[in-house]
Amino acid sequence: MPAVVEDGVFYLTTDTNRLYVGQPVSGSNTVERKLLNQTVQIIGSLTELTTMANNWTNKDAHINDFYYITDDNVLAVYTGVDKNKNGGWV
């Protein structure tokens, strides 16, 4: 992670696979790193992600988990439940 971070920029660390965002510090001109998630799983392709998710026996256990798809440069999160108790991808 760079020593100086920019406001609103996301940073995925390669040593711990944690996701941060640059956030302004209230009342100052500095920007700090804010941890968004303890870990981000690195997945090679959307097909791999779909296959993995289809094999989950307890989908609720994965709500708010982050996945980075390297082939498409996409960050996905399995989030929330709708009125039918189904999670979804964002």
For the chain of 90 residues, list the mean pLDDT of each consecutive stretch of 10.
Answer: 82 86 85 84 93 88 89 89 71
Question: What φ, ψ does residue 26 adopt, rounded to 5°?
Answer: -55, 130
Give the three-state DSSP class for 62.
Answer: helix
pTM of the model: 0.70
The residue among 76, 74, 48, 73 whose CA lies nearest residue 63 is 76
How many residues are there in the chain? 90
